[in-house]
Amino acid sequence: MEDMNRTLHYVDKSISSDIAKQKQVEEQNEKYRLIAENTTDLISLIEVDGSFQYTSPSFETQLNYNLSTIGQLNFFDMVHPDDQVVVNKEIRIFCKKKKTVRHIEIRIRDNKGDYIDIEASFSVIDKSTFSKNDLILVVMRDIRFRKIFEQKIYHLAFHDTLTNLPNRRSFMNEFNRELIDRKNRASSSKMSVLFIDLDNFKSINDQWGHDVGDQVLIEAARIIKDTIRPSDLVGRVGGDEFIVLFKDIKDEEDLKQYVNQILTKFNTPISISGQEYFITCSIGVATYPNDGDTSRELIKNADDALYNVKNKGKNHYLLFNSKIKSESLERRLLESALRNAIKEEQFYLEYQPKLNISTKQLIGMEALVRWKHPELGTIPPGKFITLAEETGLIVPLGEWILRESCRQMKEWQENGYQSLVISVNVSIRQLEDPHFIKTVEKILKEIDLDPKWLEIEVTESVFMDVNDAASVLEEIRQLGIQISIDDFGTGYSSLSYLKHLPIDTLKVDASFIKDIHVNEESRAIVKSVLTLATTLGLNVIAEGIETQEHVNELNKDGLIFGQGFYFSKPLNSQAFEEFLLREVNV
């Protein structure tokens, strides 16, 4: 009797255990069902031939397919014809290797016949209770919004936001392709580069304001584009400067005719909202192959010719020649003076505060270099930074800027101003220097500054122009230094690329801030950047904040940090200390 009771006890225990396991399985299956039925991802199980074994309810909500009839369709027939070869190839290869195909971007057709962009992953399932063959788990995600945003960023990368002309990067890409093509074909045809600068454009801005100035630039771009031939190329390279490539020039007389047409058009007043504005232009010209056989050399020579035109009265043009080459004395003198200035430390720094735009709490500052020449006075950065980069002098100059910034930061910390981060701009040329990382380490050690109080600012172009820039910046970040992308939105970073970069902060370019309160496109771009940053876990700071309207609009969008003349212009060290003192006493 005792043995029977023991047996019954074991049976009851086993049954209870089985019931508990069954309940656990049912709960787990219910969780899987809830996930599958409520996810916005498109989940399906298909046979290798493309027939459906299962589709999630999202096929109905996202693609408008009827779940009761979708089993009659074939997955591969839903794929865009141009993408079918890639999908078939990938699935065939990975079915053999039993691996997972991840993140393939393809287009699939919804029930209305429209194709949408999706990101898909395919996993091979070789064991199932309801199919003798291998099954493929397909998980797809709608990326239409991401594609739209990427297209905006891509357009911004290669077009000037104001005039919609190709920007410098786009122009140079096309120019270099033309040069390579001609060299490969051994073509005898000539090409001419025109560097065009609007005369006295600053007076338009000063007298009528930047809004009118922008409209003048838009009209100038239209005039140039309408004057050149469809086969030629025009781009805006910054400020009031444009560049034109005449792709096929017969001879010098042919060239002069085209150039004179541009000058003549600019001698006609520009009409904006019923008001006429008078502005002329100056043009420097260099021709391939006579004046150089590289894009850099040709543009430099066209720029030298333009410089001579500006010095001799403007509203004219000049073809590059040997005399101009020998007369580029100012540039050589400036380079010599710059070398001497670095040795004698004729530079000083100014600091622009960065704040929480709502609370006005100071979070840090950006260090900006200035050159005080003993005879010429203060020389603006626009005059010497580009020259420093072209000559390589930016490397020793950049080292001085970094050391002085860290020294000043340490001094302020010792005076009781803690928790502030100093930002230092670093150029492409510096990142290309093989000793840059060691230089940074050495400076931090010498100054005894904790790396977390230093931020390096780079432009997006470094990821396009510097080999392995991401790994260089990763080394910097591993030191504990923060990384910020400056002028974000004016260069190209696709989302899939950006999310892998070693960065902490996106700095929205001032061009999107200046009209954010009146321009829907600028507002949408800034909002998209904020959404992107939130997704990637990045900080965002806006530069160029000049009005209360800017602050109000940015607050609406949820932006927290900013800098600009509205809060403070760049200040020398003494004035910045007074600014710090006011912050402490508030």
Contacts of 39 (CB under 8 A, 6+ apart): 56, 58
Distance CA 408, CA 369 (A): 13
DSSP for residue 269: P
Reported as a pLDDT band with limits 50, 70 and 90, residue 20 is: low
What are the boundaries of each domain within the chain?
39-142, 151-327, 342-585
- At 366-421, the pLDDT tens digits run 999 999 999 888 888 888 898 898 788 999 999 999 999 999 999 999 998 888 99
How does residue 452 score in pLDDT terms, banded at 50, 70 and 90? very high
Place of tokens 């000037």: 160
CA distances from 94 to 42, 86, 124, 356, 548 (A): 20, 12, 8, 51, 57
Cβ neighbours of residue 8 closer than 8 Å, sequence gap 6 or more: none
Q: Is 305 exposed, middle or buried (0-12, 13-18, 19+ CB in 10 A)?
A: buried
Residue-wise pLDDT for 522-571, tens only, equals 888 888 888 888 888 899 999 999 999 999 999 988 899 999 999 999 99
Range scoring the smallest mean pLDDT among 32-41, 134-143, 303-312, 453-462: 32-41
Q: What φ, ψ does residue 26 adopt, rounded to 5°?
A: -65, -40
Residue 301 has pLDDT above 50, yes or no: yes
24 neighbors 3 (Cβ within 8 angstroms): no
**pLDDT score for 89:** 76
User: What residues contact 28, with CB distance under 8 A and at least 6 apart?
Assistant: none
CATH 3.30.70.270 describes domain 151-327: yes
Which CATH number among 3.40.390.10, 3.20.20.450, 2.40.10.120, 3.30.1360.10 corresponds to the domain 342-585? 3.20.20.450
Half-sphere exposure of 497 (CA within 13 A, CB side): 12
The encoded tokens of residue 114 equal 């429209």
Distances (CA, A) of 355 to 316, 358, 504, 506: 47, 8, 17, 15
> What does residue 433 show for φ and ψ, rounded to 5 degrees?
-70, 120
Q: Which of 530, 526, 469, 527 is nearest to 503 (CA)?
A: 469
Summarised one tens digit per residue, pLDDT across range 27-73 is 665 666 666 566 778 888 888 888 888 888 888 888 888 888 888 88
d(CA 123, CA 538): 31
The pair of three-digit structure tokens given for residue 173, joined into one six-digit string: 């890409």
List b or e across 351-380, with b for residues whose CB sees 16 or more CB atoms inside 10 angstroms: bbbbbebeeeebbbbbbbbbbeeeeeeebe
Dihedrals phi, psi of 263, to nearest 5 degrees: -60, -40
State which amino acid sits at residue 346. Answer: Q
Residues whose CB is less than 8 angstroms from the CB of residue 451 and which lie 6 or more positions away in sequence, other chains included: 444, 479, 480, 481
Please give the Cα distance from 512 to 533 (Å, whole number). Answer: 16
Q: Which residues pair with 283 in a beta bridge?
A: 196, 317
Quote the distance between the C-alpha of residue 447 and its chain's center.
33
328 touches 354 (CB < 8 A): no
Distance of CA 47 to the CA centre of its chain: 42
**Cα 115 versus chain centre, distance:** 28
Which phi and psi (to 5°) does residue 539 adopt? -80, 160
Q: Under CATH, domain 39-142 is a member of which superfamily?
A: PAS domain (3.30.450.20)
Helices (H), 186-251: 201-208, 210-227
Residues 76-81: contacts with CB under 8 Å, at least 24 apart: 76/50, 77/50, 78/108, 78/109, 79/106, 79/107, 79/108, 79/109, 80/106, 80/107, 80/108, 80/109, 80/115
- For 219, 231, 269, 289, 574, the CA distances from 194, given in Å and listed in that order, are 18, 15, 22, 14, 45
- Which amino acid is residue 278, in one-letter code? F
Which candidate, 231, 126, 234, 138, places its Cα nearest to that of 189?
A: 231
- Evaluated on CA atoms 508, 512, 515, 518, the torsion sign reads negative
Mean pLDDT estimate for the chain:
85
pLDDT at residue 586 greater than cutoff 50: no
What residues pair up with 366 in beta bridges, in sequence order? 352, 423
Residues 66-89: tens digit of each pLDDT:
888 888 888 888 999 988 888 877
Which segments of 275-336 are extended strands (E)?
275-277, 281-288, 317-319
Contact 170, 158 (CB under 8 A): yes
Q: Kindly state the helix (H) or strand (E) to which residue 522 belongs, with its residue range.
A: helix 520-536
Nearest to 550 by CA among 509, 525, 515: 515
CA angle 181, 182, 184 (to 5 degrees): 65
Cβ(285)–Cβ(308) below 8 Å: no
% the chain with pLDDT above 70: 87
pLDDT confidence band for 148 (50 / 70 / 90): confident
Partners of 118 in the β-ladder:
106, 142
pLDDT digits (tens, 9 = 90+) for 316-341: 999 998 778 776 667 778 888 999 99
Highest mean pLDDT among 155-169, 346-360, 516-530: 346-360
Looking at residues 273-296, what average pLDDT do you find?
90
Distance in angstroms (rounded) separating the CA atoms of residues 138 and 59? 12
pLDDT of residue 256: 92
Q: Cα torsion for 558, 561, 565, 567, to the nearest 10°?
A: 100
pTM, entire model: 0.53
